[in-house]
Structure 1
């Protein structure tokens, strides 16, 4: 041979390979968002006797980070973590506008006519699944509907 030592490359352990497969699977990494079905208290711990953090209004989207039998640890759009009784979750899907101003379009295209404008913090109902190009169908509480880019909202 040419004086280059033979290197033995170890085979990855099956558990490690399985972990890599899960990391590459978007469904395995999907965030779990749920919406409040009614106004509900947010607590510092999973107990009605724990400290009260805030009141979550009806229709607020929350990211579930810990899920137990009766409680869920959730994150709101500001990043705050708190606990909520799971019975308060389950309303229709909503998102919060995170862009300063979003243009909701009549069709899922950046050159489509503007249906209406929404400001940061506005709740919008989700009326379907996002399309392949990242446009989400939404509806305002007053009935106006259209499409906006998925990256301009939080809660989906």
Structure 2
């Protein structure tokens, strides 16, 4: 079954799926799903135009733990996409398999996003600003548990950049 068909079926049925089922392809170097979400390991990561040290640095990420999506692999380099849609190349050792997410409001609003006491919960435990970053502890396909400095709770999965729709994270 193609990755696109799996993703469409998951979206239609609401059934949780794994990243491997969503992507359907494996990286040539790692044999891990591509695309896949990872995070930046360091406070300073050079993002280049291409997959060599000779390529120009076009951006310097300065936020350890920032979630990024690996979209391609070439030798020891990974093409990544950030939450703004920017694609660049980074050296593989600058990436971590640790899952993180960024809170995303609906549309381009600055609304606060509710963090609940449990999936579909009945009590708001925090209200987070857009682009707050947290550790993804678990996702059930509809809700994700995220933690960070001063917060721990469940957020609608569609409000979090760093996980795929309907993806299960354990």
TM-score, structure 2 normalization: 0.71
Whether 1:122 aligns to 2:132 is yes
Larger Rg: 1
2:145 corresponds in structure 1 to 137
What are structure 2's unaligned runs of at least 5 residues? Answer: 8-19, 24-34, 164-170
2:53 corresponds in structure 1 to 48
Whether 1:29 aligns to 2:10 is no
What are structure 1's unaligned runs of at least 5 residues? Answer: 1-20
Whether 1:62 aligns to 2:43 is no
TM-score, structure 1 normalization: 0.77
Checking the alignment, whether the CA contact within 8 Å between 1:37 and 1:91 is kept in structure 2 is no
Q: Deviations over 1:69-122 (max 9, x none)?
A: 20011110000110011110015210011113211111111x521111111111
Q: Distance in 1 between matches of 2:53 and 2:136?
A: 31
1:73-112 → structure 2 map (5 Å cutoff): 73-90=79-96, 92-99=98-105, 100=110, 101-109=112-120, 111-112=121-122
2:11 corresponds in structure 1 to none
Q: How many residues align?
A: 132
Flag the structure with more relative contact order, 1 or 2, with Cα contacts below 8 A and sequence separation at least 6.
Answer: 2
Match of 1:146 among 153, 164, 168: 153
Q: Distance in 1 between matches of 2:104 and 2:57?
A: 26
SS at match of 1:127: strand
